[in-house]
Every structure is written in C-alpha cells, then in structure tokens.
Amino acid sequence: MTTPGRPAPSSLAAQRLRAQLLSGAPARTVPGVTGHLLAVQAQDQRGARLAVRARTSGLLATDVDDALTADRSMVISWLNRGTLHLVLAEDYWWLHQLTTPQLATGNARRLAQEGVPPADADRGAGVIERSLAADGPLTRAELRERVAAAGVRTEGQAMVHLLALATLRGLTVRGPMRGGEQAFVLVRDWLGPPPPPMDREQALGLLARRYLAGHAPAGDRDLAKWAGLPLGDARRGLAAIAGGLADRDDGLASLAARAGRAGPEEQPEVPDLRLLGAFDPLLLGWASRELFLAPGGPVITSNGLFRPFVLVRGRGAALWTVTGGTVVTEALGPLTAPEQAALAAETADVERFLGGAGGTRRAQEAQGTGEKPRP
C-alpha cells in the first residue's frame, strides 16, 4: 500500500534496495555487511555503525567495535575517493593498491596549503611510523603530540593530512577502538605481511564484480564515481566480467547469478520505513542519488555532509537525530499503519543498537589496553 501523494518506488529503486540489503534477508554479521557492500564510508563513526544496523538484525554497535578490535576482521582507511571507508581486512590490500595511487598529488597539495613542505611531510610520516612501532596503537591526539614535538606543523588540518599521507604510503590503518576513539596501527603489525600484489586488470574485474553485488543494477559511471577511478578503468573492470553479467535492456549491469534468483515478473519488496544514518551507502553508491530523494523533501545532503534520514517506501522523507539516547524524527506527514509500525520498530531498534551496554567481553578486554598488536 502506498500513502496518498507518495509515488510508488520504481523497479530500479527496488532492485538497488535489495542489493543494499535494505530489503530481503539481512546479513548475519558485521563482516557480512561490509563484505557484501565492499566498502562503507566511515568518516562518521556512528553513521558507519548505523549502516551495519540497517542491514542486520539483533546486533549492537559494540559488535562493530569487536570486529575492529578483537577480531581484526575489518579496518578503516582512506581508500575510494580519498575518503575513510570501512572494509574487510582481506580486502584492504587490493583496494589500497587500486584506489590510492591517484590520491598522492591531492594529499601533497593539501599539505602544502596547510604549511607543511615536502621535507616536513616526510619527517612527519616517519615520526608516525616510528611512534606506532614503539608504542602503538595510538590515537590521533597521541600521534599529534609526537609529530609536533619533532617540529612538524600539526595545526589546522595539517595533522589529518599527515595521517592520510602515512596511510596512502601503506604504513598505517585505523584499527582497534580505545574507548570511544579508533586508534592507528602499523599495517605490518596489525594485518601481517601483505599478499602478493594483484594484477591491475584482475583487480579491476574484482572491483566491478564486488561493486555490483551490493549496487546492481548500475553502470560504468556509477562504478567510476563510487570507486574514485577514471571512467576507462570502470569500463575495463566491467568488460573483464562481461561473461558473468545478466542481459538487460536498460544499459545497466547486474550479475547474472544474482539476477537469476528471481523470475522476471517478481518485483523485489520495498521496506515500509527504515532509519538510515549519516553517509549511508544508499546515497553514495551511484552517480546520482535522486532515485532515493523525495521531490521537495528534506535537505539530506549539503556541502558534502549527509545527514541521518527516514526512508519511507524507498524515498528520503524526513531527518532524524538521537538526543539523550532517544530517536527524534522530523514530521513525517501521513503514514500507513504498516509504516507507523515500522517507525516504532525502527526507533526502538536504533536505541537498542546504540545503547547496548558493554558489548561483548572480548571488546571490553581489548579496548584501552594499549597493548602492542600481535605480529
């Protein structure tokens, strides 16, 4: 049933919602979400955790901390588009190799703008590496003290770009949680020795296949924008897996194996209502996000910021926040009975997810210990 005045979602929107795990069967684990989507934008820690919540059932935000801290199954690093992303540890290697080389020029330019010349940038990266080798894991504030003591500028955004430099050079990632903050670690200490480098053509094909698993139907421009790669690279990746793509009339690509799970007459279900967090992957996965934004609806994206929003029948219909542990939503207008029930359930689940006290014992033991990573 559709609320009067609210258009029914398109078939394309319904298929993408299913690919995003926002309809159909949810993932069972935190790595299950991340592995399916390949990379989850994560400069907003709560937003990344809420992306996991919306695509699973019964987990807690502290389960994400477990995966980062105790299991080491995931890390956060500057990857696609030069933005922090949550990825599986096993995917870090080839994604870093594929998506970061082109970021070096922009990083050097930003450091220069922040008053950090190349020699100082090299010195700062060296301090970060030696500090983590001696005392890691360390937080940003702890690394800032050490870099500043070496006479390298850290004011303004300089420290952020120094940390990014060390990451782009393959030295560091964001790994374990220490209290409410994520600490930096050396890649070699936290993840061990790297696997053999992947051939670029093989990596582009793998990128295309993994991207489509969580975003199909999608086109070459969608893949290029999401990965931060040239359009030619996106086309080469899709060409490499052409034999595994479904036949479509709209020029978009889907994996044949996934498309074959449902008959052509079957329309994927669309969730009545979902609460999605800041920077949710649903608004970052394609060249255009208009498919999921209600005409005349709330301003969800502005100046590079993506706010938490209420998805009603596949369209962003209102904004929401958490105040004092309680979900507060903007006025939503008329809702059907199923949508009202879904709102109540989603509100309760977000509060449960974020407020789960303590998490698991392993995360508690791992947080704040300051122990050196195991080899």
**pLDDT tens per residue, range 279-308:** 999 999 999 999 999 888 899 999 999 999
List Cβ<8 Å contacts ≥24 apart for 246-254. Answer: 248/217, 250/12, 250/217, 251/219, 252/12, 252/216, 252/217, 252/218, 252/219, 253/208, 253/212, 253/216, 253/217, 253/218, 253/219, 253/220, 254/15, 254/212, 254/216, 254/217
Using the predicted structure, report yes or no on whether residue 366 has a pLDDT greater than 50.
no
* Domain boundaries defined on the chain: 11-24+268-355, 113-161, 200-259
Of the chain, the percentage scoring pLDDT greater than 90 comes to 86
Residue 138 φ then ψ, to 5°:
-135, 145
Predicted confidence band of residue 26 (pLDDT cuts 50, 70, 90): very high
State the pLDDT confidence band at 6, using cuts at 50, 70 and 90.
low
Q: Distance (Å, rounded) from C-alpha 276 to C-alpha 272?
A: 13
Structure tokens at 177: 């949680």
pLDDT above 70 for 101: yes
- Tokens 């969580």 locate to 214
Q: 171-195 burial by CB neighbour count: b if 16+ within 10 A, else e? A: bbbbbbbbeeebbbbbbbbbbeeee
Tell me the per-residue pLDDT of 140-169, one tens digit each, with 9 for 90 and over.
Answer: 999 999 999 999 999 999 999 999 999 999
Q: Is 73 exposed, middle or buried (0-12, 13-18, 19+ CB in 10 A)?
A: middle
pLDDT score, position 261 = 52
Half-sphere exposure of 186 (CA within 13 A, CB side): 20
For 336-358, how does the pLDDT look when each residue is reduced to its tens digit (9 = 90+)? 999 999 999 999 999 999 995 43
pLDDT of residue 358: 37
Each residue's pLDDT tens digit, 103-112: 999 999 999 9
Joined tokens for residue 58: 């019964």
φ, ψ (nearest 5 deg) of residue 191? -110, -10
* 31 phi and psi angles, rounded to 5 deg: -60, -25
Q: What is the pLDDT of residue 295?
A: 87
CA distances from 190 to 109, 176, 367 (A): 29, 9, 15
Q: Say if residue 244 is exposed, middle or buried (CB neighbours under 10 Å; 0-12, 13-18, 19+).
A: middle
* Listed residue (169, 60, 55) closest to 122, CA to CA: 169
CB atoms within 10 A of CB 49: 24
159 versus 7: the higher-pLDDT residue is: 159
CATH of 200-259, one of 1.10.10, 2.40.160, 1.10.287, 3.30.2000: 1.10.10
pLDDT confidence of 314, banded at 50, 70, 90? very high
Q: At CA 104, angle to CA 241 and CA 237, rounded to 5?
A: 5
Q: Let me know: does 120 contact 110? Beta carbons within 8 Å.
A: no
Give the single-character DSSP code of 21.
T
- Extract the tokens encoding 264: 């052509």
Q: Residue 331 in contact with residue 350, Cβ under 8 Å?
A: no
Neighbours of 302 (CB within 10 A): 8
